[in-house]
Every structure is written in C-alpha cells, then in structure tokens.
Amino acid sequence: MSNPSLSFRFALFLSLSLTTSSSRYTPSSFSTLKATPSDLLSLLSSKSHSSRVNPIIARELNSCFKFLVPFSPILNHSPRKLTSVNLTAPIYNYHMLNDFVLWPPESVLELARLAVDSGGDPAAIQRLLDPTVIPVPDVEGSKKQRCELTRTPYGRRFIHEELNLYLKFLFELIVARGPSVGLDVSLDRFDLFHGHLFLAVDSGRLGILFHAKEYPAYDKQVFPCNMGYCQRGTNVTYDDSMNLRNILWLAPLPGDSAKSWVAPGVLVVLDARPSGIIYRDLIPDYVKIARTIYEDDLGETVVDVNYLNVGSKTSDYQIFIC
C-alpha cells in the first residue's frame, strides 16, 4: 500500500455491497439534520465556536467524543518543555501529561500559530521539514510481504527536534490512555502506526487524524475485505473496537493577536458506532464497514506522520514524515 489512508478506500470501494449488508444503519432512527466536519471541529474549540452548532447535532456529536485528555475550553496558557516520551518516567504525572496536550511546548504552539497565520497553507508547514531524505527500512517484516506502509519509500523529519519528539509523545499517549475509553491499541504495522497532519477547514487549525486498527484480519463473516500484502499476518481482530479507530489531536487554536489563544489542545477518540451521528454523517457509505473518517474531510492534508518500529532485535520506533 503506497498510502495507508487509501488502503481501506480502495479495498472497500470494491466491497460496497458487503459494506451495505453488514451495517446496522437505520435512517428512520435519526433526524433529518446532518452533522458536518465543521460542526465537529467547532465543538472542540471555544465556547463561542461551539455555540454556533445546532444543539441537537451538538448533543449527538458530544455523545461520540471519548476524551483521552479531559476536555476544557478554559484558557490557562502554561506550556511545558518535553524532554522524554517515556510516559512512566518519574518526572511526569497524570496532570503533566494532560498539560502537554492542552498546552504543548512552545515549538508546537509556534507551529500551530503558523498554520493559522499562513491562512491554512500546507507549504508553510512543509518548509519546516529537514530536507534530508531518510529511507524507510524494513518494518516488522513488511518488505518480505511486499508491503509498502508509507506514501513514499522515504521520509523526513522536522528541523526542530522537539516537534519530532512531540509526535512520538502523541502516539505513546494514545496507546497508554486508549484502554480508559475501551480502545486497546498496539504500536505495530497492522494497528497504530500513522496519522495525517492537516489544517482544519475554515480556521486553519493544526490537527492530526490518527488511524488505529489499520489492517484487520480477513474474516468471511464480519470483515470480508482483502486489503492486499499489508494485511498478511495481521493479528488485528475486527470487533467493536473498530468503532474507535479514529483518534483526533488538535493543537491549541490561536486568537487574532500575537499572544492570544482561543482554545487549548484536544486529544479525543471519535466513536463511530453504527447508532451514532459520526457513523451516519461523517463516514462515507463505501467505507462504513471500516469506520474510517478521512483527513481531507476535516481540512487540507499536509503530510503523513508515521511512527515505525525499525528495530531488528529490539524495538526502535522512529518518526518518518511523508
């Protein structure tokens, strides 16, 4: 697969009839109102933004938010310096880890402000990448299976090393906090290994849409989808946890002045259960079986962020931005 975000899209387009037969969607159980990606993003912003969303839509969307870090629109700007992605290190506690999401390090805040000040221009972010090209090595035997996990066979990293460290932190925090909302996820090439960095529609807000459960095992009864080489050998079971495969990080939203902020950061699992509004309105019909929200529906895609285990004998997770 040359692009993880397309792996479901291509395979499941061919399985449209299977998708339809497997869903439990009943149109009559929902109102005629339709949620939009802008509604979702607004509810995760300031109180003034969220107040613009239809209250019925807001209530249904809020029922689908499973926060990995407690959500609070209250502004208390106190960024910390990130020095390690070892979440069990004595220097960190539960509240400090929350703070890294609500108010990330200054380098991340500067990136967030650049995203908005540029008018949502992806090139403004891409210019901060080190031009050095890093070949993507074999990842957990992927080359033997002829599996291409990344969009390109090489990756890059941000010039500012703290940005790369922060990306690692987000992956690790999702794994650590996932079980608290019913999401058991692993950092491997079949499950969680990538996210899509985007600039949100309308606001230009910086975000990453992570996709877990990327390659579920083929199952004639519940997941009759052949996803190609990268699916071979998977240990990911297709079950109700697929509803939780979309994880959204949003950076703090800058205000109009140079030092002002409108909303803190967010880390939330988007519950795409078949009875919910996200499943109904924000997931395309042809991919409902996979519960996939697409990043280009949320905004302008900038890069893919991959966190890959490139170790041969011991784990060695590295960032590759493609």
- pLDDT for position 11: 46
Domain positions in the chain are 4-321
Other CB atoms within a 10 A radius of the CB of residue 226 amount to 10
Inter-residue contact 125 to 302 (CB < 8 Å) = yes
Q: Has residue 79 got a pLDDT over 50?
A: yes
H or E element, residue 256:
none
Distances in Å between the alpha carbon of 284 and those of 56, 156, 173, 287, 316? 21, 31, 28, 6, 36
Residue 231 CA to residue 214 CA, distance in Å, equals 9
96-99 contacts at long range (C-beta below 8 A, 24 or more positions apart):
97/69, 97/173, 98/69, 98/70
Reading the block at residue 32, the tokens are: 């005629």
- pLDDT for position 77: 67
Instruction: For residue 12, name the pLDDT band (cuts at 50, 70, 90).
Output: very low
> Residue 273 has what DSSP assignment?
-
Q: Has residue 103 got a pLDDT over 60?
A: yes
Nearest one of 57, 95, 53, 54 to 78, comparing CA atoms: 95
- pLDDT for position 17: 36
pLDDT digits (tens, 9 = 90+) for 259-318: 889 999 999 999 999 999 999 999 999 999 999 999 999 999 999 999 999 998 899 999
pLDDT digits (tens, 9 = 90+) for 201-251: 889 999 999 999 999 999 999 999 999 999 999 999 999 999 999 999 999
Distances in Å between the alpha carbon of 305 and those of 78, 110, 164, 170? 26, 19, 10, 11
pLDDT digits (tens, 9 = 90+) for 111-167: 999 999 999 999 999 999 999 999 999 999 998 899 999 999 999 999 999 999 999
Inter-residue contact 259 to 232 (CB < 8 Å) = no
Instruction: For residue 82, name the pLDDT band (cuts at 50, 70, 90).
Output: confident
- pLDDT for position 27: 43
pTM over 0.85: yes
